[in-house]
Structure 1
Amino acid sequence: MTAADLLLDVQNLSVDYGSAAEPLPAVSGVSLQLRRGEILGIAGESGSGKTTLINTLLRLLRPPAVVRSGSATLHPAAGDPVDLLHADPRELRRTRWEHTAVVFQSAMNALNPVSRLSAQFTDVLRAHRRMPKSRARERATHMLQLVGIPATRLDSYPHELSGGMRQRATIALALVCEPDLLVMDEPTTAVDVVMQRQILRQVIRLQRELGFSVVFITHDLSLLLEIADRIAVMYGGRIVESGPTGDLYRDPKHPYTRGLRDSFPPLRGPMRRLNGIPGNPPDLRGLPPGCAFEPRCPHATAECGAAPPELTEHGAARAVACIHADWLPVPTAGGRA
């Protein structure tokens, strides 16, 4: 990756909850990079650290959360790099909406229930682009139409829209200032499967038209297989595997990634046996001394409990945190290993 391609650079980021005397490590030593025009998926069970990671990058964390170490730098297409962890309030205000935007999983909570859509759009445009109200309404109408919402809905209140329309309206609002980075935190959780697919198709189309990058967070690996260019899998506050989407699906190197893949049915091909992941996610108050996945891993050995494995490169574009990544059983013709 060249410097011109790099949009987001996160290095050794660690975040704790609680007091300094008794910290709870929610994110530990996470490093990742995002290219311009790329869709990066972040997958993992609840409690794996996905949302804490993103809230840290967006500066939405609240006490008792504390950033213990690391850096996060945004390289916008226009302007100087932004230190996301230490930017002052004025710089942070300029960065939001202009360079970064977020779509939360509950549109009803993200939208102001007592304001019309038109007012919410014009507030953003007048604050960040200093547009007159008439031009702001034109821009808002255009953005709503891009996500498939008729112009007649511009003056509707959020409760007058269906769940799918509200979610699409939040996407349009996030993109109204054409940011470099769009963060989507489980944006399809509250809608049905049909609407999920419609929203995903619209996100892909808009991303190709407008050229923004996406960080898409979900516990559903099957969604990321449809839209993401690369996937980072989190477990116990760490990234345990990352790489191109196709490679992670065809040949997952970490047992947890394989467990996520094998826990949902394939849409095509012969019937296969589903294999769930036994046990429960780790208690962050008392992580195992070695690999956090070791108590649930079918391939664990005594060596796995000695120390947390480092995230190491496996080829040009893969990284895995597993000491047995090179000898996981190969899937058989009748099912998956």
Structure 2
Amino acid sequence: MARKAQPAGGYATGKDVAQRAGVSTITVSRVFNPAWEGKIRPETVERVRQVAQELNYRPNGVARSLVNRRTNIIAVVIGQSAGFFYSEILTDLVRRIQKSGRQALVFSLDLYDDVARILEQVAQHRVDAVVVTSSALRTDVMRPLEDMGMPVILFKRSAEQTNISGIWCDERQGALLAADCLLRTGCRQIGIVAHPHGGTGRAQAFAEELARQNITPVQTVWGDYSYESGQQAARKLLTDHQLDAIFCEEDTMAMACLDVAREEFGLRVPDDLAIIGFDNNTAAALPAYNITTVAHPIVDMLDALMEAIEQVTCDPHTPVRRQFEMSLLERSTTK
């Protein structure tokens, strides 16, 4: 069937589609609203979409936002040094946001960025809510987030001491699992690779658990969750000390430590050196690494995050808070 000409005067409107399809403009709006999927007769949906295709009609998101007082845009703020783990989360989160009929607007917050400037950019887009990942958080970010005047949801960072929403894991409990794994296998000379500004509390909780067993970490070396920083940390630890274990705050750095230990120092893992990571990213589970790690229930957390987005956009004054437990995945880098 030949495509009919577009209405004179520019873009086709919902009214044009409604007139040609023989339905109301409300029906046209509902056909293109994901919230109404499955609630309209299939033959009506097919007829409306066919006419829309003929007229090259696209729903006007700007007009819809003026009516609803919502932009249907969710801002996602992520740190640059986020590693594989956050890349995987970001892909899934954007897909989920789009499936809900919204759009994601991603902002990158570098360690040295002016926090106020980045948050001002977010505010200029009049987004319906802001999701901030823990990789983007420094201590000085919390107060500006609380003062933004729009719904903010922390993801993978506790919101207990704030007046904003949050979906997070008990990362201290996760760090205790890692410490217990090393201690019960006889490790005593333990090094730590941690992020100096991560704010997760993982390394601190890990060291505190060692202290309860009268063990002091041999040394803590800083890394920014990148592979290169993990390499540098491993070289320093293994050059300066005779270790039997390394705890890394993030899996990418643990992967680097494993490569350096085996390839540069000729160590057998886990016989000579045990290594534990954190986050359970996909790469760490590859056969070449198969790293013991502490895992988040990511699917459940993302489900909870989407529920939180729905709730805070309807009721921005009531914070939503959910905490999840973590689990230890024992693989081939520990005994």
Normalised to the residue count of structure 1, the TM-score between the two structures is: 0.29
Higher CA-based Rg: 2
Structure-2-length-normalised TM-score:
0.29
Quick one: higher RCO (CA 8 Å, sep 6+), 1 or 2? 1
Larger proportion of strand:
1
